[in-house]
Amino acid sequence: MSTPDASPLSYYDEIGGHEVFVRLVDVFYDGVADDEVLRPMYPEEDLGPAKERLTLFLEQYWGGPSTYSENRGHPRLRMRHAAFHVNPDARDRWLAHMRTAVDAIELPPLHEATLWDYLQRAAFAMVNTFEPSGIGPAADGRAEASLPVTAQTTKESP
């Protein structure tokens, strides 16, 4: 008697499901909570809602429940981050906190490399400015662009 082929496990299931993603996100936000560049990007006083959104997003992306889309629609990551001043410094800080979180969940090497590759690509894709200032939300949803200050030249008398 033959048994039907079992469906392959999703990445979500392979790494341990919900509990692993909750741990990843908790460790990540532990770092964000004290980061003077990233913390202002989270308008809520409590990071709990941000933790929930990131957990649901990552779970869905990696083959878990589709709760994120059911509650919030299509992820549209670049659009959702457009209101924030995401420069290379913010990206690198985000990646540093996420690196700590990935290390904390102690995945097997192939799973760790797969997750880290995605997180790096996502972080680089979110960069929307190379201006060094203007962190956090601003009027009209964007940080004001700043122009470099140049010295005025004056015509000297001969």
Question: What is the per-residue pLDDT across 86-96, written as a single tens digit (0 to 9) for each?
Answer: 999 999 999 99
Question: What is the per-residue pLDDT across 111-137, written as a single tens digit (0 to 9) for each?
Answer: 999 999 999 999 999 999 999 865 455
The predicted structure's pLDDT at residue 21: 98
Residue 5, pLDDT above cutoff 90: no
Q: How many CA atoms lie within 13 A of 69 on its CB side?
A: 10
Instruction: Answer whether 31's CB lies under 8 Å from 96's CB.
Output: yes
Neighbour-count burial of 84, counting CB atoms closer than 10 A to its CB (0-12 exposed, 13-18 middle, 19+ buried): buried
Whole-number Å distance between alpha carbons of 66 and 43 = 25
Nearest residue to 81 via CA among 53, 117, 60:
53
* Mean pLDDT of all residues belonging to the chain: 85
Convert 105-153 into a string of H (helix), E (strand) and C (coil). CCCCHHHHHHHHHHHHHHHHHHCCCCCCCCCCCCHHHCCCCCCCCCCCC
Q: What is the mean pLDDT of residues 43-69?
A: 95
Give the largest CA-CA distance in the chain: 104
